[in-house]
Amino acid sequence: MADESKDIYFVQGIPVPDTPLPGKEPEAWQETNVVGKRLPRVDAYERVSGSAVYPSDVHLPNMLHGAILRCPHPHARVRNVDTSAASRMPGVRAVIRGTTPEADLVWKKDAAGEMRLFDPHCRFEGEEVAAVAAETPYQARDAINAIRVDYEVLPFVADERRALQAGSPPVHSKGNLSKSDTYERGDVTRGFAAAEVVLEESYRTECELHTPLEPHGCVASWEGRSLTVWESTQGVYAVQSRVAEVLKLPLARVRVIGHYMGGGFGSKLEAGKYTVIAALLARQSARPVKLLLTREETYLAVGNRPPCNMTLKAGVKRDGTLTALEFTCLATGGASPAGGTSLVDWLIRDLYTCPNVRTTLTDVFTNAGPARAFRAPGHPQGAWALEQMMDALAEAVGMDPVRLRLKNMAAFSQAREGNPAYTSTGFRKCLEQGAAAFGWEKARRETGAQAARGHMRRGVGMAGCLWVAGGGRPPSTVIVKLFSDGSVNLNMGASDLGTGTKTVMAMVVAEELGIKPEAIQIENADTGTTQYATPSGGSKTVPTEAPAVRNAAVQVKQKLMEMAAAALKTDVSELAYQGREIVSRRDASKRIAVKDLDALKRQGVVVGVGYRGPNPKNKVVNPFGAQFCEVEVNTKTGELKILRFVAAHDSGRVMNRLTYDNQVFGGITMGIGLAMTEARILDAGQTGKMVNRNWHDYKLPTALDVPADITSLPIGPADAEANNTGAKGLGEPVTIPTAAAVANAVCHATGLRITQTPINPLQLVQRLAERRKEG
C-alpha cells in the first residue's frame, strides 16, 4: 500500500520550477507545466451536483426567516411605524424598526451626512423601514405587509439631467450636487486650434443592474456575544469590518463565511444593511435568522451601473494625430455619494496619446437606488463615447479605424503624476493580431453601407481599452501546508466569485510542488479560519493572490529542501526539487522521496506562509484589449444580430486557458447587455418608481443575443515586472470595449451613429425611419 500511495498526490515526470535559496524571491516563470493549461475547476463536481453549499443553501436548526419592509416612495419621511398587528401574527418572533433601541444605529457617515440603519428620511424607493423574523418566509412576508407606516410623501427628482435645474426637489439638505471634478493637461484651446478636423458629439448610457443569479443575503447566528454570518459576498473581511463597526463589536467576535457565491459583479464588494438587520433579528429572537432579498429588492437597493450623459469634443490632424480631447459627464450615484462619475473619464485621459485633455465630471444626487461598483466601473461608459468618437474621426480624415488607433499609441500613463511607464503594454499587439484574426481589412471591404444589398445590412466594428487597475491590490496572506503523506492544504481568504479563483490558485501550488491540482484541499473565504484578503473584484484577485500563493508554496519547498539536505548530508544548493523526490544535482543516485523525509514525519506538516508584496515602484500595471465584431441589421424591423466577436487581450500570463476563455465570453455577454438590451426605467414624471424590476421586463441578454462564434485571443507575453506569476487582470477589460464595438459595427452597416444605449429594434427602426423621411 505504501508504494501504491506515493503517486496519489504527486505527478511523476513533470519538472517543477527551480527553488530559490531561503530568503530569496522566486524568479518569474519561463515555461510552465500546469499553469496555463485548460483544466476544469477543482470544485466542478460540487457546483454541478448541487453539493456546494452557497449562503442561500445554509439551513441551521431552529432557524427563522427575515424580511424587510421597504419604502414604496422615491422620497418620503417616516412619521410613524405601527408594528403592533405584525407582532401578533402567527410565527412572528422578532420585529425591529428605527425606534427600536438596539436598531437605532448609524449605518455610515459620508459627504451627504449621516445615514441610519432605518433612516426616517427615505430618499429612494426601497429604503429600509422595518424588519421581521418569523418561522417561515411566508409568515415573515405576511407580517411585513401588516405593518402600517405613516409617510409624508415628498417631491422627488428621478432624472439626473433635471437634478440641478432650478426648482428641482433637494435630495439632501445641501442640494443635489454631490461633487464636481476637473482634470486638465496641456491647453485644449490651442489643441483644437491646431486640429484640422474637430468633431463633437453627445452620448448616453442607461443605468444597468447587476442582477446576480444568487440574490444578496445572509444567515446570521449568535453564540453568546460572538456573531457568525454566512454571506453571499465578494469579500468576507470587508463584511466583517462593516458589521463590527456598526454593531460596535470587536472584529474577533464577528466571523463571516462565504465559501461559494452565485455572482456579484461588484454589487457584493461591500456589506449591505440586510446583514446587520439579520444580526439584530437573530439577537432579539435568540435564534439564527436567514434573510435573503427578493429579486425585486435587488433591483432597488443593492447597486447599479450609473446612467451617464457625456459630451466629447475631439481634434485631429489629417495624418491621424490627436491634438485635443474635451469631455464632460453628468451622472448620478443615486441618493448617496456612490461615485456616479467614478473613472468614467479614465480612457479619455489615458488610452491614446494626446497632449491636450480636459475632463469635467459632475455627480448629482437623485431619488434612486445607490450605485455600486459594476464590472469595470466607469470604463464601459467612457469607452462608449471615446471609441465611437475615434471611429468618427477615422471616417472624417479617411483613415482606417485600426490605423487611427495605432497612430496614437501611448507608451506610458499620461494621466498619472510623473507619467510612469507601464510594466508591459500589449495594446498594439491586441489591435494588430486581433485585426488579423478577425480578417478586418477584408471584412471592411465586403460589408458596410456601401456594400449593402436589400434590407439586410452587415457591418464590422471594433474598440480598444485599458483597465485602470488589474495589477493587484495588496495585502494578501496565504498559507500552504504539506502533510507527511504528501497531501496539501491551501488556506486563503479570497472569495471565488465563480470565476475559478480556487482552481487557478491550486494550479499555482501544483506548478511549484508537483502536486495534482485536484488533490489540493482548499480553505477559503472564512474570517475565522483563513488569512486576510481584500475583496475579490476589479480584476485584482489573480494578480494579488497568485503571487502570495506561489510564495507560500516556494517556502514549503525551501523547508523540504533543508530537510533533504540534512538527510542526504549535503548543501541545499546542491539539490533539486523534482516533486515526488529531491535529488542531488551532481549525483543522481543521491535522492530521497519527500514522504520519506524523517524530519517531515516527525514534524507532521510543513507550513509555508506567503505574502503579496507591493506593486512595482514607479510603474503601472494595466491590462489592455481590443475587440472586433460583425453584426447584421434588418433595416425593415430594426432587429440586430451579432454574428461574431474576436477578443484580443493583453492580461499577462494565462493562468488557466479554460477559465480565461470563460471570462472573455462572460464579459462580452455583459457588454452586449449594455449595448443592446439593458436599461433601468424609472417613471420620472409621475411616481419616480422603477417600472421594470424583474427579469421579465429588465432585459438581460440571452443565448439568442450572444453569438456562438466568439474567439478568445490571449496576447502575450507574461508580465515579468508585474508580479512573480506574470499575470494581470482580465475580468474587467473584456467587458469595457464590447458595447462601443457593437455601436461602431451598427454604424458601419447602416450609416447611423447610435449614441444612446440600448441599441434595440425600437430605436433602430425610429432612426431608420427618420433618415428615410429626411430623404
On whether the CB atoms of residues 495 and 259 are closer than 8 A, the answer is no
- Going through 343-476 in order, the beta strands assigned E by DSSP cover 357-364, 421-422, 456-466
Instruction: Output phi, psi for 727, to 5 deg.
Output: -95, 145
- In tens, the pLDDT along 577-634 reads 998 899 999 988 899 999 999 999 999 999 999 999 899 999 999 999 999 999 999 9
Work out the burial of residue 183: count CB atoms within 10 Å of its CB; fewer than 13 is exposed, 13-18 middle, 19 or more buried: middle
Question: Class of the 56-154+211-301 domain?
Answer: alpha beta
Mean pLDDT of the chain: 95
On whether the CB atoms of residues 723 and 546 are closer than 8 A, the answer is yes
Predicted confidence (pLDDT) at residue 23 exceeds the cutoff of 70: no
Q: Pull the grid cell for residue 320.
A: 491621424
Instruction: Output phi, psi for 586, to 5 deg.
Output: -95, -30
Say what the pLDDT of residue 5 is.
Answer: 45
Q: How far is CA 467 from CA 55, 227, 621, 650, in A?
A: 31, 38, 9, 11
Cα–Cα distance between 301 and 294 in angstroms, integer?
Answer: 11
Say what the pLDDT of residue 21 is.
Answer: 65
Predicted confidence (pLDDT) at residue 9 exceeds the cutoff of 80: no
Residues spanned by CATH 3.30.365.10 within the chain? 4-31+472-611, 56-154+211-301, 305-470+619-774
Question: Class of the 4-31+472-611 domain?
Answer: alpha beta
Residues forming a β-bridge with 520: 488
Model confidence at 12, pLDDT cuts 50, 70, 90, reads: low
Q: Pull the grid cell for residue 8.
A: 496519489
Say what the pLDDT of residue 2 is.
Answer: 38
Please confirm whether the linkage preceding 474 is cis (ω < 30° from 0): no
- Short-list 741, 544, 559, CA closest to 645: 741
Three-state DSSP at 761 gives helix
Give the CATH fold of the 305-470+619-774 domain. Answer: Aldehyde Oxidoreductase; domain 4 (3.30.365)
Model confidence at 1, pLDDT cuts 50, 70, 90, reads: very low
Cα–Cα distance between 403 and 394 in angstroms, integer?
Answer: 8
- In tens, the pLDDT along 513-545 reads 999 888 899 999 999 999 999 999 999 999 999
Please confirm whether the linkage preceding 475 is cis (ω < 30° from 0): yes
Cα–Cα distance between 775 and 769 in angstroms, integer?
Answer: 10
- In tens, the pLDDT along 343-395 reads 999 999 999 999 999 999 999 999 999 999 999 999 999 999 999 999 999 99
Residues forming a β-bridge with 575: 584
- In tens, the pLDDT along 117-161 reads 999 999 999 999 999 999 999 999 999 999 999 999 999 999 999
Say what the pLDDT of residue 3 is.
Answer: 46
